[in-house]
């Protein structure tokens, strides 16, 4: 399994079993669908996969951040687009 397959698996799991909204899942799936565009950005793909695996809609709730939220994922998607 390559890193894009892992990313696809992570987004599917969070979308189907978690609280990942469509507006956030769709841009991640677009990255998977356009693998060739993101060659050379493996670090960001791995970071995005880790963020999705640890995604929690309530990550910012409480006194300390213990997971990744939608802002983290949006930021990483932005870095993928910018570089």
Q: What is the mean pLDDT of the chain?
A: 90
Joined tokens for residue 7: 């990313």
Compare 57 and 17 and report the one with higher pLDDT. Answer: 17
pLDDT at 56 over 90: no
Q: What pLDDT is stored for residue 60 in this prediction? A: 59
Q: What pLDDT is stored for residue 83 in this prediction? A: 65
Give the number of other CB atoms < 10 A from CB of residue 65.
Answer: 12
CA-closest candidate to residue 55, choices 17, 82, 26: 17
The pTM score is: 0.88
Compare 69 and 46 and report the one with higher pLDDT. Answer: 46
Q: Give the DSSP letter string of 24-77.
A: HHHHHHHHHHTGGGGTT-HHHHHHHHHHHHTB-TTTTSSSS--SB-HHHHHHHH
Q: What pLDDT is stored for residue 68 in this prediction? A: 87
């Amino acid at each position: 399994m390559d890193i894009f397959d892992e990313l696809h698996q992570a987004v599917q799991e969070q979308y189907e079993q978690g609280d990942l909204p469509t507006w956030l899942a769709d841009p991640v799936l677009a990255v998977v669908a356009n693998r060739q565009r993101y060659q050379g950005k493996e670090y960001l793909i791995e970071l995005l996969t880790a963020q999705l695996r640890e995604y929690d809609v309530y990550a910012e709730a409480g006194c300390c951040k213990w997971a990744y939220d939608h802002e983290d994922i949006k930021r990483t998607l932005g870095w993928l687009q910018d570089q």
